[in-house]
Chains A and B, each alone.
Chain A
Amino acid sequence: MTTKPEMTAAEIASAVAGRKMSALDATEAALARIKQHDGILNSFTDVTADRARAKARAIDADIAAGKEVGPLAGVPFAVKNLFDVAGLPTRAGSKINRDLAPSKRDATLIERMEASGAVLVGALNMGEYAYDFTGENVHDGPSRNPHDTTRMTGGSSGGSGSAVGGALVPIALGSDTNGSIRVPSSFCGIFGLKPTYGRLSRARSFPFVASLDHLGPFARSVTDLALAYDAMQGPDADDGACTTRGLEPTLPLLANPVSDLRIAIAGGHFQKNVFPEAVEAVSRVAKALGATKVVDVPEASRARAAAYVITTTEGASLHLDRLRKRPNDFDPAVRDRLIAGAMVPAALVDRAQKFRRWYRAQLAEIFKTVDVLIAPATPCTAPKLGQVNFNLDGVELPVRANIGIHTQPISFIGLPVVAVPVPLEPLPIGVQIICAPWREDIALRVAYALEQMGVASAPAPRGL
């Protein structure tokens, strides 16, 4: 059996377990595709070819010996370069971290993916220290959008978006503090899951904003997203914020009907500052799901402001010593934001954390009468690389600051979200499927229904 570039993880795992394809062939196909296209996409910063081949051979040996293999047997995947990968310094998109000693042990989520049979093929480009919505990086160059390589991938998990959108790998992992999984999913036309805060272990990944950081998967199908998510669930004493809840597998629930769900469109803030393509995408999703009710999310703009304040101050605290000792080794734009963050008075940060408690209670009320909220993932499709402003309703607005306005008020209180790609022409755009805490199963179920209806799908990369 020959591999084709857009084989899903589920198809690869099935072919490998069924001895129709070897894990080594699946791995070689991914490595070849990376070699062919990554010169343009710039999604990888490290390709771990030797490690990947060794892992793939071990899986093939297990299969030959009749041993059980996991549900991701032979599936190539890659991780944002803030995940610890044994043998590599965890650069987190920075120049400074390249001086760190190589990691001795993989991040927990890599260990869990590989325990399920997946094969790590490399580490992915990202915005410096994850303080980014564009996917641009002054040290490594920008990751490029697989549908139009003159455009942004979105960030900060830009390489993750580019690698999966470009079908170099079927699954990638990234992080999301304010939107860094959902924004690249939107711009690159793929599915992304930002789980509930605390659901997936962050152990041995480089942090950004401890009280907002989440890790999660990207994929080209909802089944693959659920496969990866289920493989990574579970408590982990190495991450103090990780839940002690047991495994709650979602894959067996994907095909359950969605007709019993109460689905509403997020109003107010989420219907403002959007381009027509975002309105069209939300409208298609709402129509397919039969959602007509609009629910106002109170004070979402203020929630976005509070998320901004907590981000800039906690980020500044994390990097304070590096800002003192190596300020010229930062991306100047990141450095200047972090220095300003260090200067925000503590009383205002505490106000933001208290507001967060209030806002969380408002959303908890909403989720008593609604199971799902629909909102845009980004206000627009992918802007041009280097683009500074966009014009919305005759008003010039800064691109960088406005890309995440619809994702920030959701991650601010840790709600689970699946970003689903709506394949508009000429560029795709994402819609957020938002649920109550710990209900990733519902978000994935709705995403699966949209995929089955043909409303959400990952388009073939058009820029390659």
Chain B
Amino acid sequence: MAEPLDEYIDAVSKALALPVEEAWRPAVRANLEVSLRLARLVDEFALPDETEPAPIFTA
């Protein structure tokens, strides 16, 4: 049975032309789960709309 993230991995793999061989899929999925869990932790933190991202381009 396909894991919940597999369809997403397939779609992004196509969009980025970034091949994911079947043998790599479990590790890619596990890493993506960790990244998304940590990204959600950040996302849950309410920030003012005016907050600037940290890196500022200096011309």
Q: Is the CB of B27 within 8 A of A333?
A: yes
How many chain B residues touch the partner (CB < 8 A)?
33
B18 to chain A, nearest CB (A): 6
Tally of A-B Cβ pairs under 8 angstroms: 106
Q: Does A384 contact B (CB under 8 A)?
A: no
Chain B residue nearest to A398 in the complex (CB): B34
Q: Is the CB of A309 within 8 A of B32?
A: no
Q: Is the CB of B39 within 8 A of A348?
A: yes
Q: Does A58 contact B (CB under 8 A)?
A: no
B22 to chain A, nearest CB (A): 13
A354 interface neighbour in B40, B53, B58, Cβ under 8 Å: B53
Q: Is the CB of B42 within 8 A of A351?
A: yes
Q: Does B1 contact A (CB under 8 A)?
A: no
Do most interface residues of chain A lie in helix, strand or loop, or is the interface mixed? helix
B24 interface neighbour in A332, A353, A358, A401, Cβ under 8 Å: A332
Residues of B within 8 A of A353 (CB): 53-55
Q: Does A390 contact B (CB under 8 A)?
A: no
Q: Is the CB of B43 within 8 A of A336?
A: no
A342-B18, A354-B52, A358-B51 given; 13 more Cβ-contact pairs under 8 Å: A305-B41, A308-B35, A309-B39, A309-B42, A320-B18, A324-B18, A336-B24, A340-B28, A340-B29, A343-B16, A343-B32, A350-B53, A358-B45
Question: Can you list 10 contacts pairing A with B, beta carbon distance less than 8 Å?
Answer: A308-B35, A309-B38, A327-B21, A342-B16, A353-B53, A353-B55, A354-B47, A354-B53, A354-B54, A358-B45
Q: What are the nearest 10 A-B pairs in CB distance?
A: A340-B31, A353-B53, A356-B54, A305-B38, A336-B27, A348-B39, A340-B32, A354-B51, A343-B12, A305-B41
